[in-house]
Amino acid sequence: MILFRYDKTFDGLLTCIFDAYNRKTFPVLLLGAEEPEPLFTDECYSVITDIDKSKRVWKSLVKKTMPVTCNMLKYVWLSELSGSDELIFRYIRKTFDNSHSIEMNFADEDVLEMRNVAKKVEHERLRLIQFVRFQKASDDIFFAPVSPVLNALPLAIEHFTERFADQKWIIYDMKRNYGYYYDLKTVTEMTLDLAENFKDGKLDEKLMTEDEKLFQDLWKGYFKSMTIKERINPKLHRQNMPARYWKYLTEKQ
């Protein structure tokens, strides 16, 4: 059994593809740097991430597949699901080894699984867009905490950049401890000290503007006044607004 060990980055995965074809040996498993080797391992090859190799593989994929397929590969990578890197590896290998396109061959288990995982990530992206709630800080920066199950935040940033282009904002993934800051011109990835200024994913009240506190109270009041008790349907409510998002919704506090 042949194994490849790499740094668990997307460029590292594409380098694995390059090295596999160069060596003419293809791994059964892909391991991270610290993962233990299983029994009966014949060879464990360590892959050194090479950006030039990664770009060459990606350029070949762009030529051989449709743009939607390239996006799908990124979506599946961001899913962070167990075995997603091996799924991508198998899919790319089938793409290169077949003279005809495999993109619509849903009889193939890997093609179907790629499509299903990508749909899950896309669904998570749409949920982020729907349920993000900003809080205005005293320095006029709007802050929004999120905790998506799948790592869909990078896919939603373009929407917020276009929708809120006239204000500075931070959207922060509390689960993965990273986020994006928009300064009216560019978007920059960033990390914050969550313990110092955030409690349960919310800004400390001392960091909020006075009108933000007032707005939150007004929004809660509006939400309460619009609720018709006789028409409350908890099952449908949870279906349309999953409970895992309630933690960051002002109207649910």
Give the pLDDT confidence score for residue 210 in this predicted structure.
59
**SS3 state at 61:** helix
Mind listing the pLDDT tens digit of every residue in the chain (253 residues)?
899 999 999 999 999 999 999 999 999 999 998 888 888 888 899 999 999 999 999 999 999 999 999 999 999 999 999 999 999 999 999 999 999 999 999 999 999 999 999 999 999 999 999 988 888 887 788 888 899 999 999 999 999 999 999 999 999 998 999 999 999 999 999 988 765 556 565 666 666 665 656 555 655 665 666 676 766 766 665 666 777 776 776 665 6
Report the distance separating Cα 18 and Cα 181, nearest Å. 34
H or E segment and range at residue 142: strand 142-146
Question: To 10 degrees, the CA torsion angle through 238, 240, 241, 242?
Answer: 50
Residues 59 and 30 in one domain: yes
Give the pLDDT confidence score for residue 135 in this predicted structure.
84
Pair 194, 170: CB distance under 8 Å: no
* Residue numbers of the domain that contains 119: 66-131
Give the pLDDT confidence score for residue 225 in this predicted structure.
65
Residues 91 and 53 in one domain: no
Residues 78 and 89 in one domain: yes
Residues 114 and 151 in one domain: no
Give the pLDDT confidence score for residue 133 in this predicted structure.
84
Give the pLDDT confidence score for residue 73 in this predicted structure.
97
Give the pLDDT confidence score for residue 85 in this predicted structure.
96
Beta strand spans in 99-174 (E): 135-136, 142-146, 169-173
For tokens 């990664």, the residue is 54
Residues 137 and 229 in one domain: yes
Give the pLDDT confidence score for residue 41 in this predicted structure.
84
Residues 176 and 194 in one domain: yes
3-state percent breakdown (helix, strand, coil) of the chain, nearest 5: 50, 15, 35
Looking at 131, 157, 179, the residue that finishes a domain is 131
* φ/ψ bin of 171: left (φ > 0), alpha (ψ from -120 to 50), beta (otherwise): beta
Pair 97, 212: CB distance under 8 Å: no
Residues 240 and 180 in one domain: yes
